[in-house]
Amino acid sequence: MSQTISARRAAGVVLAALVALPAGSLLFQSKGADATPPVRMTKAEDHQRTMEALHITELRKGKAGRDKSDPNFANYDESKANPFPNLPDPLTLKNGKKVSTPADWWNKRRPEIVEDFDREVYGRVPKNVPSVKWDVVSTTNGKLGDVDIITKQLVGVVDNSMDPDIEVKIALSLTTPAHAAGPVPVIMQYGGVGGFGGTQNATSGPPYGPNAFNAPLAGRGPAPAFGPSGGRGLAAFAGFGASGRGGRGPAGPTWQNQVLARGWGYASLNPTSIQADNGAGLTLGIIGLCNKGQPRKADDWGALRAWAWGASRAIDYFETDKAVDAKHIAIEGHSRYGKAAIVALAYEPRMWTAYVSSSGEGGAKLHRRNWGEIIENVAGVDEYHWMAGNFLKYAGPLGWNDLPVDSHELVAMIAPRPVFLSAGNGGYDVEPGGDSWVDAKGTFLAGVGAGPVYRLLGKKDLGTTEFPKIETLLATGDIAFRQHSSGHTDVPNWPYFLDFASRHM
């Protein structure tokens, strides 16, 4: 690995020398484009490289999610769940002064929080991200249920002149009702990836499978490795396929049917067409392109922010499409894409709202909670690519309480806009397909912790600080929460989310 890197460095020196040649020279015409191939590492190699760059010799282990006999089995005992009950105060500046006006929130405190999330948690979007050109690949008329629809398949081609070896083509589909009286709100789901992200895919949904528009990336990358290090791998999700995960959920119209019934449209954005879902892909995709195929710096963006960036580019397109009311674009994601959905909403002010389903650690769940999955799981080799390299520090040598921010402040970044937080019931200790791992209560507490910021901005908080009984909808304010009883799925809360969204137009 280090050989590849130093070979590239040497090549860089040669390239720099070539740039000094007269402008007419053939070689000069690469215009600074990087002609050397991207560095290739396995996720283990890049994880190790990240640790070395941070001078970390050892990380604490993630929790085991399924095997009760494992000494490292996840905690599901509420009396041990809050080792650090005092969260950072979203309304106290780093200099100790209290924030008591919206102006101070917007101009002073929110930027501090954003900077901390950028540097330590999700990483920074580089300044040099190239532009995206959206092409409508096809437009087809169809029907879903009894609604006439128009579906556009789009590809967002990223300008890769800085490193032509790395192609990024964002796959997006958009379906709108054919007879809409005007521009319609659009609910966009992170989807199009087999088994992950698509919940109930309507038959007329995106025809492409994983990586359909992503051949160059897929071709060069190793197979994506899903699954946490804690022994709860993809198998745990068997049966949570594209046609409605958590078979115990209520049978009924698909979410797309529900969206159309409101006269709205829906979209599907393929995350792995933006950035691969594994550490080996970090020198490719949009992250790799911005680094010209070199490994990440410690505060570079991870996959969650890359996926969120992709959602922002989709909004760029929607703003040009007359069928779409671009002021009302919502994002939905489940599990790892629930994390991406909350990050997308927090960072993109043009986004209307989000349905954040079972987002867990790295998403809405408080990092300081000891329940189910923890920081150490996400810092492990299978998941660290979601986050900034710096995030690894909090799994050793630092601890959870050293994080300058926590997830209630991610929710606060969304304020004053509406957001719907969701999780399911059940634990992997008791039943396969359960959702205790993602920590419904830790998610609820993040919503509670954002309350003061919503109130400061003249909005309503969750309405209670008491964790509600399962299936109790909290949606009287601008932060909504509901824990459903169907395990690791987003199906049951769709109607509640859509209703909440429609009340916040």
Q: Which is nearer to ligand GCU, 324 or 364 (CB)?
A: 364
Are 403 and 376 spatial neighbours (Cβ–Cβ below 8 Å)?
A: no
Which of 144, 171, 140, 141 lies closest to 156, judged by CA?
171
Closest distance of CB 255 from ligand GCU, Å: 18
- Considering beta carbons, is residue 43 or 109 the nearer one to ligand GCU? 43
Q: Measured from the CB of residue 452, what is the shortest distance to ligand GCU in angstroms?
A: 27
Residues 436-455 that bind ligand GCU (CB under 6 A): 437
Q: How far is the CB of 335 from ligand GCU (least distance, A)?
A: 3
Compute the distance between CA of residue 46 and CA of residue 298 in angstroms, rounded to an integer.
12
Among 46, 332, 361, 435, binds ligand GCU (CB under 6 A): 361
Nearer to ligand GCU (CB atom), residue 160 or residue 335: 335
**CB nearer to ligand GCU: pick between 175 and 370:** 370
> Between residues 265 and 310, which has the closer beta carbon with respect to ligand GCU?
310
- Whole-number Å distance between alpha carbons of 257 and 236: 28
Q: To the nearest whole angstrom, how small is the minimum distance from the Cβ of residue 377 to ligand GCU?
A: 5
373 or 461: CB nearest ligand GCU? 373
- The residue of the chain with the least Cβ separation from ligand GCU equals 336
Rule CB under 6 A: choose which of 112, 167, 373, 376 binds ligand GCU. Answer: 373
On the 0-12 / 13-18 / 19+ scale of CB atoms within 10 A, 402 is exposed
CB of 438 to ligand GCU, least distance (A): 7
Interacting residues with ligand GCU between 471 and 500 (CB under 6 A): none
Interface positions, 374-403, toward ligand GCU (CB under 6 A): 377
- Minimum CB distance to ligand GCU smaller for 293 or for 380: 380
Residue count, binding to ligand GCU (CB under 6 A): 9
Q: Which is nearer to ligand GCU, 332 or 361 (by Cβ)?
A: 361
**402 in helix, strand or coil?**
helix
Residue of 336, 367, 369, 417 that binds ligand GCU (CB under 6 A): 336
Smallest gap from Cβ 382 to ligand GCU, in A, equals: 8
Distances from the Cα of 404 to the Cα of 121, 305, 384, 391, 392, angstroms: 10, 19, 19, 11, 14
The maximal CA–CA distance of the chain, rounded, in angstroms, is 73
Among 191, 360, 389, 424, binds ligand GCU (CB under 6 A): 360
Helix axes 336-347, 303-318, angle to 10 degrees: 60
Cis peptide, bond prior to residue 185, ω within 30 of zero: no
Residue 338 to residues 13, 190, 380, Cα–Cα distance (Å): 42, 9, 19
- We find the least distance from the C-beta atom of residue 417 to ligand GCU, in angstroms, to be 23
User: Please, which residues have CB within 8 angstroms of residue 337's CB and are 6 or more apart in sequence?
Assistant: 189, 190, 191, 196, 197, 271, 307
For residue 435, state whether it binds ligand GCU (rule: CB under 6 A).
no
Report the C-alpha gap between 484 and 495 in whole angstroms.
12
Q: Give the C-alpha separation, 155 to 491, whole Å.
A: 28
Q: How far is the CB of 437 from ligand GCU (least distance, A)?
A: 6
Nearer to ligand GCU by C-beta: 50 or 229?
229
Q: Contacting ligand GCU (CB under 6 A), which of 335, 353, 357, 493?
A: 335
For residues 148 and 305, the answer to whether their CB atoms sit within 8 Å is no
Six-digit token pair at 231?
A: 């022994």
Question: Tell me, what DSSP letter sits at residue 11?
Answer: H
Choose between 134 and 386: whose C-beta lies nearer to ligand GCU. 386
With a CB cutoff of 8 Å and minimum separation 6, the contacts of 398 are none
- What character string, x for contact with ligand GCU (CB under 6 A) and - otherwise, covers 218-257? ----------x---x-------------------------
Q: Which residue's CB is nearer to ligand GCU, number 233 or number 416?
A: 233
Helices (H), 348-439: 375-378, 407-414
Facing residues of 398 across strands? none
- Which strand (E) or helix (H) includes residue 328? strand 324-334
Token pair recorded at residue 420: 């719907």
| Interacting residues of 320 by C-beta distance below 8 A, sequence separation 6+ | 134
Q: Please report, as ranges, the residues that interact with ligand GCU according to CB under 6 A.
A: 228, 232, 335-336, 360-361, 373, 377, 437
